[in-house]
Structure 1
Amino acid sequence: MKRLFPVIVCVIFGCQGDIVEQNPYLNNLPSFEFELNLDLPLYDNLRFAGGTLTLSQLGFKGVHLYNLDGSQILAWEASCPNQRPSDCSKTIVNGIEAVCSCDDSIYSLVTGQPLSKDVEYGLVNYGVRRTGNLVLVYN
């Protein structure tokens, strides 16, 4: 038992959880729930793979919605994740990418990861739940 105790202690204290680094520029995102109906003409672009839509009234600077494969919709904060909030710190959708207006950093709308070098943070992801043609976007 005396030999087993140090091993158990090492195993318990040697196991660390992953350290998740919080984005200091986007640390107090507003809570929201927004439901949209894909049957409405306003949201028609989201019914098909590759379709995008920006909802300016949600999040800090808006929310980009991207239809990944015809059924799965992803939601990303439109604020530039590597800039302090300012007049230019909004990303603009360009195909399957979001481009920051301040520094031209590019981010993938598929993964949220930065495609530009020397960029620390990726896009902030929001929750999406789809039931038929009803889509709930939430934080």
Structure 2
Amino acid sequence: MNIAKYLFVLAVTLLICSCSSDDNRYRNPNLPDYNFSVDIDMNLPQYSQLQFTGNVVYVNQSGVGINGVYVINTGGGFTAYEASCPNQPLTDCSRLQRDGVIATCPCDGAEYNLFSGEAEGQRYTLKPYRVEITGENKIRVSN
């Protein structure tokens, strides 16, 4: 086999091996995976704050996430996270409490940044959900 064919086969093999599905992007034994999809129209009063960078909205419709979802306008797009403490088994105290762009777990006091989903010294970040722009001032959050 000449060198060009060998390099081509090697490149294709590496490409195939490096591809992965985003279904396994976040595995946390404390938080089950529930399928849901919710459309958010930022023209509605309850979601209009999402039109501005740094604003967060809590979506607590039945069947959306485990304890609801926090959606934030990051300035470069939108990010959505589960509103449950990621480093605790689900209990009565595991719904995150938000103050600005910080969500605090009442079980252990861990503070998560809603821009990044991270908390200092914690094993798991907030559980991220997919966000897709579906129209002018409209997004869809799903798992």
TM range (shorter): 0.7 to 0.9
TM-score using structure 2 length: 0.77
1:67 to 65, 69, 73: 73
Encode CA deviations 1:17-49: one digit per residue, 9 max, x unaligned.
7xx7731101x2210111011111111111100
Structure 1: which 5+ residue stretches go unaligned?
1-11
Q: Does 1:129 align with 2:135?
A: no
Partner of 2:45: 41
Partner of 1:105: 110
Correspondence 1:1-139 to 2 at 5 A: 22-26=27-31, 28-57=32-61, 58-69=64-75, 72-115=77-120, 117=121, 119-130=122-133, 131-139=135-143
CA contact (8 A) 2:72 2:78 kept: yes
Cα offset for 1:97?
1.4
SS at match of 2:47: helix
Encode CA deviations 1:30-73: one digit per residue, 9 max, x unaligned.
1011101111111111110011111122111110011111x511
CA contact (8 A) 2:26 2:127 kept: no
Cα offset for 1:105?
0.3
Measured in 1, the distance between the counterparts of 2:36 and 2:139 equals: 14
The number of residue pairs the alignment matches comes to 121
- Go from structure 1 to structure 2 and tell me whether the alpha carbon gap of 1:111 and 1:83 turns closer, same or farther (over 3 Å shift): same
Measured in 2, the distance between the counterparts of 1:134 and 1:24 equals: 32
Over the matched positions of the two proteins, sequence identity in percent amounts to: 34
**2:36 is matched by which residue type in structure 1?**
F
Measured in 2, the distance between the counterparts of 1:96 and 1:73 equals: 13
RMSD of aligned residue pairs (Cα, Å): 2.2
